[in-house]
């Protein structure tokens, strides 16, 4: 086979209010590496996505992102401490141990995109 090495995969996340969404992700802890022509490139460590100045309600409210982290509780505390839940009037769940071996929580962004932020753990119910 030829060299089929991949470098990265990113998704385009819709933004109902592009300016507000950029600030939400900055406050959440992502770095905005570029912003031009209605596309903002965000990253944190080895994870990245493209925020787009485009919005379709059905698309946004049916989109889910999964961010795998080392410490879900630390991320949950961090997000709570930033004040983005109150500032942007978004919902966040408690951290829950899932039966499939993950400790996670969910938060919605201002456009309705659902983020599941979790860490792998040994399943206690298997």
In angstroms, how far is the first alpha carbon of the chain from the final one? 39
What local confidence, expressed as pLDDT, does residue 1 receive?
57
SS3 (DSSP) at 93: coil
Note the pLDDT tens digit of each residue in 45-87: 999 999 999 999 999 999 999 999 999 999 999 999 999 999 9
The pLDDT of residue 6 is: 87
To the question of pTM greater than 0.85 for the whole model, the response is: yes
Q: Are 15 and 54 in contact (CB under 8 A)?
A: yes
Candidate CATH numbers 3.10.180.10, 3.90.1640.30, 3.40.800.10, 3.30.1640.10; the one for domain 12-120? 3.10.180.10
């Amino acid at each position: 086979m030829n060299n089929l090495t991949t470098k990265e995969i990113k998704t385009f996340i819709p933004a109902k209010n592009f300016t507000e969404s950029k600030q939400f992700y900055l406050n959440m802890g992502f770095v905005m590496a570029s912003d031009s022509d209605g596309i903002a490139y965000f990253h944190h460590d080895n994870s990245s996505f493209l925020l787009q100045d485009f919005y379709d309600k059905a698309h946004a409210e049916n989109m889910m992102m999964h961010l795998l982290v080392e410490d879900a509780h630390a991320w949950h505390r961090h997000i709570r401490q930033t004040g983005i839940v109150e500032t942007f009037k978004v919902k966040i769940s408690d951290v829950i141990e899932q039966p499939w071996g993950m400790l996670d929580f969910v938060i919605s962004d201002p456009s309705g995109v659902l983020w599941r932020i979790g860490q792998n753990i040994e399943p206690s119910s298997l």
